[in-house]
Amino acid sequence: MSRVLGELTRAQDALARPTLRLLDGKWAAFRVAVFRCSFSRDRRSVQTDVLHTQIDTYLTELQRDGIDVPPSMNGRALCNLWVNDQWLFRDNAADDSLVYSLTSSALEALDLVQNLSRDRVLVSESRLTTILDTVRRWALEASPDAQARIERLNSQIRELEAERDRLETGGDAATASDERMLDGYTNLIDLIGQLPSDFKRVEESVLDMHRKILRDFRDEDRPVIDVLDEYLARQDELVKETPEGRAFDGAFVLLRDDALLLELRENVQALLAHPAAEVLDTRDVSEIRGAVTIIRQGMKDVLAQRRRLTATLKEHIVNRDVLQERELDRVLRGIERELAKWMETAGPRATVPVELLPPVAKVGHLRTRLWDPASAEPPPPLERVDDDGLEPPTVEELRMQGGPSLDELRAALIDAFTTGNSDTVGHLFNELPKRLRRPVEVLGLLHLVSRIDAMSDDDETEVFEAIRPNGDRRHFLVPRMSLTPTEAAALAGLTLNGSAGE
């Protein structure tokens, strides 16, 4: 491959990355403006409905000022498009609500625009000094020659002691000039601005690892131990072999060193206390002051992704031995796998018709028993048992199992209260013959008295002693009732449909 062809291939690969695609095209400036207005260092994620409304507002404002905007697109459609172009990332927040955040590619593009829009160039004495100090420090650690390392350390010690002695003898502590401090501020802001995209790349790498492990779990092509080994190996590789991983590891060490964090805060305060800091923009001062916050937030996001991945591994390991032999589990995994493939190409409102219940399988009747000739034989003839039969009940016995004898009870009531032989209905009942003192006869008396509206509202009661056909006696507590001669005459004129016991 010729040199120009190789450079052409590398240039095409670079231009195809989402970072440069965001800055290319007619609507590049619109995208950058929307992202810069919607996201900041302090606002790293925005709820989906809030961002849709904000973008709709931006579109209305720009159209009112006569500025071209993407035609026939609203906030929701633009966000879905930017998610597909890998400029926005849509995920669940801590409260399970959907939020948007910028991808590492979008952060890199915004940092590039920010650097190009600065008035000062980055190639300065401050930048060169930073490079020289970094090279000197790493050369000291990389040298395998102990004597050479001792000589470098002695040289640095002599320089530091000479400066200390000069200050102790009354020498002036020269303060950096405003020009030099501005160069240092610019260099520091540039370094701090690279941190969010570095952390975002680590987060996206962990997320890609998470998705791959989920695919492996759905496919079940490999044992769990193989998936775990690959996860541990890739996690170690991510931290040690990638630039963003090494930055993450260094930030993790920094956050565990309280003394180093305290020194960083004190140094930041000293930098901003210099008179040259008064000419800095509010955004630049906020970035310098929030360096520790940026590191903490980046660490928090990466660790959250790692916790999600670890939780996925734990859940699969705990449940896999229980579910792997079940056919339903395999069917559900297949559905989830196909759904994940479908979501890669499906639109936001795409639907799939799915029946709530599967159709009933039509299966013909299956014979479960063979024909037995013995089952076709007629049953044996019945034997005559006339001599062993029980005596049928008499008419009187059947009548005693029936309802109340209303005609006889009415005649007894009329006779008793016309002649004055009884004071109450209960006294009459207890004087009746045994055949008229069945428990059901009590209901018959109550029915007759209620027909002439002779029921009393008094709370007084009396005992009805009933006798069952088998001779058992039962006592019933019934409201106290008494009939006058007029009520007895009304009862005599009452027409009944016949006795229920006959």
Instruction: Check if the beta carbon of residue 448 is closer than 8 Å to that of residue 406.
Output: yes
Q: What is residue 322's predicted lDDT score, i.e. its pLDDT?
A: 47
* Residue where a domain stops, chosen among 87, 104, 121: 104
Asked whether 253 and 247 are in contact (CB, 8 A), the reply is no
Please give the structure tokens belonging to residue 373: 């000739």
Q: What is the pLDDT along the chain (502 residues), one digit of tens a residue?
A: 567 777 777 777 777 788 888 888 888 889 889 998 888 877 878 889 999 999 999 999 998 888 888 888 898 999 999 988 888 988 877 677 888 988 888 888 887 787 676 554 444 555 556 666 667 666 666 767 778 778 878 888 888 888 888 878 877 766 666 677 777 777 777 777 777 777 777 777 777 776 776 676 666 556 666 767 776 777 666 666 666 566 666 666 666 677 777 777 787 787 777 777 777 777 777 777 777 777 777 777 777 777 777 777 777 666 655 445 556 667 777 888 888 888 888 877 888 777 777 777 777 777 777 788 888 888 888 887 766 667 778 888 788 888 888 888 888 888 888 887 788 888 888 889 888 889 999 998 888 888 888 777 777 888 999 999 888 999 999 888 888 888 888 888 876 654 433 3
Do residues 272 and 289 make contact, with C-beta atoms less than 8 angstroms apart?
Answer: yes
Among 415, 436, 398, residue whose Cα is nearest residue 489:
415
Find, among 456, 454, 455, 463, the residue nearest to 491 by Cα: 454
Q: Quick one: which H or E segment has residue 91?
A: strand 88-92
Query: Is 412 exposed, middle or buried (CB count within 10 Å of its CB: 0-12, 13-18, 19+)?
Result: buried
Residues 285 and 200 in one domain: yes
| Domain co-membership, 239 together with 339 | yes
- Last-in-domain residue among 104, 130, 151: 104
Query: Does 84 share its domain with 199?
Result: no
Q: Does residue 210 form part of some domain? A: yes
Domain count, the chain: 3
Burial track 146-176 (b if 16+ CB lie within 10 A, e otherwise):
eeeeeebeeeeeeeeeeeeeeeeeeeeeeee
Helical axes 282-289 vs 291-323, angle rounded to 10°: 60
Token pair for 107: 């952060």
468 backbone φψ class: left, alpha, beta (φ>0; ψ -120 to 50): beta
Query: What token pair was written down for 457?
Result: 């509202």
Looking at the structure, tell me whether residues 332 and 459 fall in a common domain.
no
Confirm if 317 and 224 have CB atoms less than 8 A apart.
yes
Separation between Cα atoms, residue 437 and residue 172, nearest integer Å: 131
- Reported as a single tens digit per residue, the pLDDT across 157-179 is 888 888 888 878 877 766 666 67
Domain identity same for 315 and 443: no
> Would you say residue 502 lies in a domain?
no
Q: How far is CA 461 from the centre of its chain?
A: 67
- Is 14 within a domain? yes
**Domain-located, residue 171:** no
- 197, 107 Cβ separation under 8 angstroms: yes
Among 104, 134, 157, residue at a domain's last position: 104
Q: According to the model, what pLDDT value does residue 52 have?
A: 92
pLDDT at 123: 47
Using left for φ > 0, alpha for ψ between -120 and 50, and beta otherwise, residue 352 falls in beta
pLDDT, position 239: 62
Answer yes or no: are the C-beta atoms of 108 and 116 closer than 8 Å.
no
Domain holding 91, by residue range, is 3-104
| Structural domain includes residue 470 | yes
What does DSSP say about strands 461-467 and 88-92: parallel, antiparallel, or unpaired? Answer: unpaired
| Residue 79 falls inside a structural domain | yes
Q: Does 86 lie in the same domain as 12?
A: yes
Instruction: Please list, residue by residue across 71-106, b when 16 or more beta carbons sit within 10 angstroms of its beta carbon and e when fewer do.
Output: eeeebbebbbebeeebbbbeeeeeeeeebbbbbbbb
Which SS3 state, helix, strand or coil, does residue 432 take?
coil
Span 50-78, pLDDT tens digits = 999 999 999 999 988 888 888 888 989 99
Query: Do 96 and 190 fall within a single domain?
Result: no
Residues 339 and 457 in one domain: no
Residue 43 lies in a domain: yes
* Cβ atoms of residues 19 and 105 within 8 Å: yes
The answer to whether residue 48 sits within a structural domain is: yes
Question: Do 51 and 75 touch, CB atoms closer than 8 A?
Answer: yes
CA distance 424 to 440: 18
Statement to judge: residues 219 and 332 lie in one domain: yes
Q: What is the CATH number of the domain that holds 50?
A: 1.10.10
Q: What is the residue-wise DSSP string for 153-195? A: HHHHHHHHHHHHHHHHTT---PPPPHHHHHHHHHHHHHHHHHH
Return d(Cα 464, Cα 455) in angstroms, integer.
16
Do 200 and 336 lie in a common domain? yes
Kindly state whether residues 227 and 303 are assigned to the same domain: yes
Q: Which amino acid is at 432?
A: L
